[in-house]
């Protein structure tokens, strides 16, 4: 358990909880602890789905600008790889992941939300990539994950302008998937994650990898990735159980094996 990031559990749902007052600024230590948390929830077989949660007040307002201001080019050349490695680890958690967004998700905070498979936002949430206003560009996946999610033109609008979008616009452009009252964000994310917790863990892992890897390659290569993942599910106990239950007209009881 880190100083600012800890892993909690709610049944079979793991919660990566950010807690660095006041705004969950993503300094070097928080980035390292997020990387460690991603490894922990990914390796724990008892955890079947994951929620990333910054608390009732804010998801994450972005990088720690005071810390970054002191970094030289050489410093950032060294650090930027570790920053991206941390966010890659989150994006590659082999389980369904939901970001529960309250308050601000800006800059690195928005990029953190982009590592999740789904995003639930509060009605008063604000999201954006304001790095351009600092003379920078997004450095933790914003120029890559954002256009893949909402399309290149909309992504360029947010990145070039640095403007913030409210929850309604975020929902309209596909940046978030659900908008609920702020008091219901965490509960909604937990309940949504819970719908995956009893599913076939290896098939869910395969589906996530097929989609994510397929977005990085041409269609023919993506189809081959799908074929291999699809074939691999036939080696699982859950595939046997799922088909048995279907034929018997029963509800499958998956074990994640």
**Overall average pLDDT of the 24-52 stretch:** 96
Known catalytic residue at 111: yes
What class, spelled out in words, does domain 5-197 have in CATH?
Answer: alpha beta
**What is the Cα–Cα distance from 194 to 96, expressed in whole angstroms?**
10
- Which of 8, 36, 67, 131 is catalytic? The answer is 131
- The single residue of 45, 111, 169, 184 carrying the catalytic annotation is 111
For the chain, the average pLDDT equals 95
d(CA 122, CA 133): 25
Cβ pair 22, 35 in contact under 8 A: no
pLDDT digit string (tens) for 120-148?
999 999 999 999 999 999 999 999 999 99
- Its sign, for the CA torsion 184, 189, 192, 193, is negative
Q: Tell me what the mean pLDDT of segment 176-186 comes to.
A: 98
State the pLDDT at residue 78. Answer: 87
**How far is Cα 43 from Cα 85, in angstroms, rounded to an integer?**
17
Q: Measured between alpha carbons, how far is 23 from 12 in angstroms, rounded to an integer?
A: 28
pTM (predicted TM-score): 0.94
Q: What angle do helix axes 73-91 and 28-43 make, rounded to 10 degrees?
A: 20
**pLDDT higher than 80, residue 1:** no
Chain position carrying tokens 């060294």? 78
Domains of the chain, residue spans: 5-197, 201-248
191 is catalytic: no
Please state, as a whole number, how many other Cβ atoms lie within 10 Å of the Cβ of residue 132: 15
> Would you identify the CATH topology of the domain 201-248?
Lyase 2-enoyl-coa Hydratase; Chain  A, domain 2 (1.10.12)
In the predicted model, what is the mean pLDDT of residues 26-48?
A: 96
- Report the DSSP pairing between strands 104-106 and 126-128: parallel
**Could you tell me if 207 and 226 are in contact, meaning their C-beta atoms sit under 8 angstroms apart?**
no
């Amino acid at each position: 358990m880190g100083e600012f990031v800890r892993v909690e559990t709610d049944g079979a749902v793991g919660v990566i909880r950010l807690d660095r007052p006041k705004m969950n600024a993503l300094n070097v230590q928080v980035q390292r602890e997020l990387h460690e948390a991603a490894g922990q929830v990914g390796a724990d077989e008892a955890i079947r789905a994951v929620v990333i949660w910054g608390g009732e007040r804010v998801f994450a307002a972005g990088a720690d600008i005071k810390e970054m201001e002191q970094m030289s080019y050489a410093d950032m050349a060294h650090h930027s790889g570790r920053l991206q490695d941390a966010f890659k680890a989150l994006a590659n958690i082999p389980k369904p992941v939901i970001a529960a967004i309250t308050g601000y998700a800006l800059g690195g905070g928005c990029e953190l939300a982009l590592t999740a498979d789904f995003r639930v936002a509060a009605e008063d949430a604000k999201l954006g990539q304001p790095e351009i206003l600092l003379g920078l560009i997004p450095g933790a996946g914003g120029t890559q994950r954002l256009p893949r999610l909402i399309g290149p033109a909309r992504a360029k609008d947010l990145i070039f302008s640095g403007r913030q979008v409210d929850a309604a616009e975020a929902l309209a452009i596909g940046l978030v998937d659900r908008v609920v009252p702020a008091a219901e964000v965490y509960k909604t994310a937990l309940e949504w994650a819970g719908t995956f917790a009893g599913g076939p863990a290896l098939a869910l892992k395969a589906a996530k990898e097929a989609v994510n890897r397929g977005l990085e390659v041409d269609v023919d290569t993506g189809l081959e990735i799908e074929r291999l993942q699809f074939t691999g599910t036939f080696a699982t106990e859950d595939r046997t159980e799922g088909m048995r239950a279907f034929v018997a007209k029963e509800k499958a009881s998956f074990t994640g094996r």
